[in-house]
Structure 1
Amino acid sequence: MRTGITLAMIARNEERCLARCLSSVKDHVESIVVVDTGSTDRTPEIARSFGARVEAIEWPGAFDEARNAALALVETEWVLWLDADEWFVEGHASQLAVAIRREDAFGYLLVRRDLFPSGGFGEQVLLRLWRHDPSLRFVGVIHEHLDPDALERATSRRKVFESRIAFFHDGFRPEPSEEKLARNVPLLRKELELRPGQIYYEIELAN
């Protein structure tokens, strides 16, 4: 389907949830690109079964570099970003095609519903749909985000709108696992070496 939207994502050992994610959106995007950072399960095969372009890379040691590798594969006007443990609320992905018709729109804040293991959910709005701009890249070794300066330049010409397009996320854990903590500590240190003085990262590392 020629929607002008590419779903971009990074993945590693996501066979548990990848098909659910891609099934929820495959009919509403023009293409899918997946950068695989070292899967040892069926993640690449599952992605290809949905017609995705899969590029395998060695884990670069930084989430922003991995995400930027995925952005570099985008050839459409619009980028949709999802993680493998996210999937659209039924009927919501079809609204993407309507959203991108606005000429004055640079992007859209979508609603993420974090499902808690104990039941219930919380909501937050995130910029997950935007016009592809090669100058707009992710920054941050960990807790990566779109570069604020480049985003400010891009949104000086067009606007970011709120939407009620919603998707679920079931990867939320109030307490990180020992494996995740072991992964995050060196990444936090690397981020602070590159960009010292970030209070949020200093507090997280101290904890």
Structure 2
Amino acid sequence: MSFLNEDVNLIRKKLQLCGLDIQSNSNFSISFKKLSKLYSELFFKSDYRDFPKFKLMENKIQFNEMIVIRDVQFISICEHHLLIIEGTSTVAYIPKKYIVGLSKISQIIHFFSKRPQLQEKMTKQISISLKNLLKTEDVAVFINAVHYCMKIRYAQDRSSDVITTELSGSFVSDDLLKDRFLRFCYSNR
């Protein structure tokens, strides 16, 4: 509980430094506690001990084509501005020796989104994790997100989105495979 009180006091001081009259608005006292609780919920998964647990399955059928998990929705927080990043991630991999339950890939995406984050870093973290876990270099990650730090501050950027990709293995060396993956990412249903 002292953690919550420290957060409330820090937030109060920051708002006062911004010139806001928080003394005359009684709603601020409630908002401080709610904001502090929200941040502790949002950043709950930032400890690597909470990384999703799962078992790899041996690729007994020797499936060697691209597996794509499309449009996994996530919400994160920009580590520069502590404002919302809202987006989708599409991930593909070509299995070698192992495959994994498809929901586990979504869990990895959500694990990395539950912390103050840079989209570029999150893209790379997802890719590295999947390469290490699945024992394959053939991984592709595509993230398309709206950054509220842009949307709120600049009227002309209200509809802008940010796209990051991390391609490795065959997704770099095989242009046809790369094109197939990117078509999955950009196509509408």
User: Which gives a bigger RCO, structure 1 or 2 (Cα 8 Å, sep 6+)?
Assistant: 1
Aligning the two structures, in what range does the TM-score lie when normalised by the shorter sequence? under 0.3
Bigger share in helix:
2
- Asked which structure has the greater CA Rg, the reply is 2
